[in-house]
Amino acid sequence: MRQRLITLVALLMIWLSQPCHGENGYNLWLRYKPVNSTSLKTEYRSYLNQIYFPSESDRLKAALDELNLGLNGLIGIKPQLLVRAQGSSVIATSNKIGALKKWVPDSVLKKIGNDGFVIKTINQAGRNVLLVTANSDLGILYGTFYLLKLMQTGKTLSGLDVVEYPRTMVRVLDHWDNPNRTVERGYAGFSIWNWHKLPGYIDSRYIDYARANASVGINGSVLNNVNASIQMLTPAYLVKIKALADAFRPYGIRVYLSVKFDSPIELGGLKTADPLDPEVIKWWKIKTDEIYSYIPDFGGFLVKANSEGQPGPQTYGRSHADGANMLGNALAPHHGIVMWRAFVYDDKVPDDRAKQAYNEFKPLDGQFNANVIIQVKSGPIDFQPREAFHPLFGALPNTSVMLELQLTQEYLGFSTHLVYEAPLFKECMDADTYRQGKNSTVARILEGVYNPKLITGMAGVANIGTDVNWCGHPFAQANWYAFGRLAWNPQASAAAIADDWLRMTFSSEKVFIDPMKREMLQSRENTVNYMTPLGLHHIMGASGHYGPGPWTDNMGRADWTAVYYHKADTAGIGFDRTKSGSNALGQYSPEVQAYFGNLNTCPDEYLLWFHHLSWQYKMRSGKTLWEEMVHHYYAGADSVKKMQQTWNSLRPYVDQERFSEVQQLMAVQYEEAIRWRNSCVLYFQTFSRQPIPVGYDRPEHDLAYYRSLRYPNVPGQGVN
């Protein structure tokens, strides 16, 4: 009852807040603005004036509350609730739809599983009926959000035959939030978890967070930073975490915790954290049982081990499998899972950091427990604007693997740059590993096509904070939205997702949608061009990863520097990862090796990722490598100017508050794009010893000026 009251109050507050707050972005893609089309409004009302929607559980009540909120905003009605499966709409689990069950074959119900749903428009006894059904209350919740999305995006409800189900099991946001409310790599304010007020105060923002996640099928939340604090495992915090779990549960979201591997030492007072030590095993079992006594549906642990100074099993001469399985054994009786990150590198600088994760995990294939899933970043370095796909995808056929993406824009301009990341995500997902023959894409591996016994999943490092619009930049919300959609279905189109998001978040006017969708789809490539074109990577500033820093050469270890990766000299530029270099390319299938290793087939986008080439190397365009690089840097900055012009032309279709905010942020982005362009062109010119080609503006300042710039107190460097 208390939870129901909290939910109703939260939804009412949203509705009441809209007029006074205007369009500040708080409502994300769940704005539920009135439908403009008279014919659609009439159609929607004809289906939804009377509905059968039994809602005995908290989850079904949450779904009904959302439907009422949405219908009130979209078409100005509160439907009459019927007591039997009749009327023009039936929204209920399959065991409650009576004679309508004949329209949904058992084979379809089996296919959609626990999370999926069916939406059909059927003709029953001469009348049209809108049917939303599922096997579970959770499926009804997801189906309700999908129905509202159809209405928000202006789709007809006639002739529907929708069968939807998630292709992955674990779809989680990873919050790099610290107990003191700082957020590592967070650019949208502080952590939304107000630990001081928990457990007694449930902020309505928590409910809105859960609603937004459920609307795109996200079913898990890792509440704390992978650089974990032991505080999170103490009773004082477990009672707070329980309060969040209770608030999220009606929306199908389980909570997870990042844990520090040496917690038995720091928290338990043991002398070791050796995963094979009986006392350590006992400590984790007791601690895990304690967590489940607070949160019976606790999801499990996320672990960063033996990376960037974090402790792990290798500290004790044990393997990643030893460490992960020990935690897996503690969680198994409760049906929890371990998400063990493959982002590893130790204190010994390898010949190529891109090789280390593969070298450490490939020999362990098949040695991990059934409830352990290896969390692998999209590329082998670290969330760069462009990377080759990670060689571990497809290389662990007997091990559960999930994709880790970064929604927060650590290397993509923070929250001042408009970068729609779905094309970046899709670039990885659509990559063909050839590990199971042609078309064995990363997406198909993530879906468990080749080994259905394995756990499947995706994780997104959250870009959420206390900023009123949640993500710092209004368009950064699209990356949260796109992650959920792609975790649900990795085959989904980046363009279709952008189209839906724009319609739900801004306007359904075609004259707005078409140009802005083009800009969104191009925005990531723009950013790659003015930051790291032609396969360059890891050349950002050393302090906080903000701004350009191709000259960075003294960071305590070589693979933290920029010069380690671009290897520019007077002979040329690029990291040779072929057989003549580090042979990181040897970690891929023969087909991939042949494709990237051959200069005749290697795409320009990955050229300097895999090859060190002369400044005079002749590109496909006919330009030299130097000329092509300069062209990309200038084209990238120019594209931001074009994006500004497009946005300015769309003023009539956007509310003043958000229009002005985006306009100002685009101006900041343009300044930063120019800074990136000038810094990198001038720096690399010291090696190429070639003039900037005719037709390009000369940088306003010299290289010494750009190298002298400092950016103190950049956001995102939170500490525990």
Pick the closest to residue 158 from 91, 89, 111 (CA basis). Answer: 89
Which two tokens mark 11?
């939804």
Pick the closest to residue 22 from 640, 691, 469 (CA basis). Answer: 469
Active site residue 657: no
Residue 511 belongs to what H/E stretch?
helix 510-531
Which two tokens mark 64?
């009904």
Q: Which residues pair with 173 in a beta bridge?
A: 221, 460
Residue 697 belongs to what H/E stretch?
none
Residue 457, φ and ψ in degrees, nearest 5: 175, 170
Which two tokens mark 157?
């409800």
For residues 488 and 206, what is the distance between their CA atoms, to the nearest angstrom? 22
Residue 30, judged by CB atoms within 10 A of its CB (0-12, 13-18, 19+), counts as buried
For residues 216 and 30, what is the distance between their CA atoms, to the nearest angstrom? 11
The active-site residue, picked from 137, 208, 387, 410, is: 410
Distance of CA 219 to the CA centre of its chain: 13
Asked whether the beta carbons of 209 and 463 are under 8 A apart, the reply is: no
Burial state string for 375-384 with b = 16 or more CB within 10 A and e = fewer than 16 = bbbbbbbbbb
Burial state string for 125-155 with b = 16 or more CB within 10 A and e = fewer than 16 = eeebbbbbbbbbbbbbbbbbbbbbbbbbeee
For residues 419 and 412, what is the distance between their CA atoms, to the nearest angstrom? 7
The dihedral formed by the CA atoms of 460, 466, 469 and 471, expressed in degrees to the nearest 10: -30
The active-site residue, picked from 279, 308, 514, 671, is: 308
Distance of CA 520 to the CA centre of its chain: 16
Active site residue 308: yes
Active site residue 290: no
Q: Which residues pair with 301 in a beta bridge?
A: 257, 338
DSSP 8-class letter at 548: B
Which two tokens mark 453?
């016994």
Map 487-509 to HEC letters. Answer: HHCCCCCHHHHHHHHHHHHCCCC
Map 634-689 to HEC letters. Answer: HHHHHHHHHHHHHHHHCHHHCCHHHHHHHHHHHHHHHHHHHHHHHHHHHHHHHHHC
For residues 584 and 337, what is the distance between their CA atoms, to the nearest angstrom? 31
Asked whether the beta carbons of 215 and 151 are under 8 A apart, the reply is: no
Instruction: Please give the single-letter amino acid code of residue 227.
Output: N
The dihedral formed by the CA atoms of 101, 102, 105 and 109, expressed in degrees to the nearest 10: 0
The active-site residue, picked from 322, 382, 499, 525, is: 382
Instruction: Please give the single-letter amino acid code of residue 507.
Output: S
Instruction: Please give the single-letter amino acid code of residue 469.
Output: N
For residues 248 and 244, what is the distance between their CA atoms, to the nearest angstrom? 6
Catalytically active residues, by annotation: 308, 382, 410
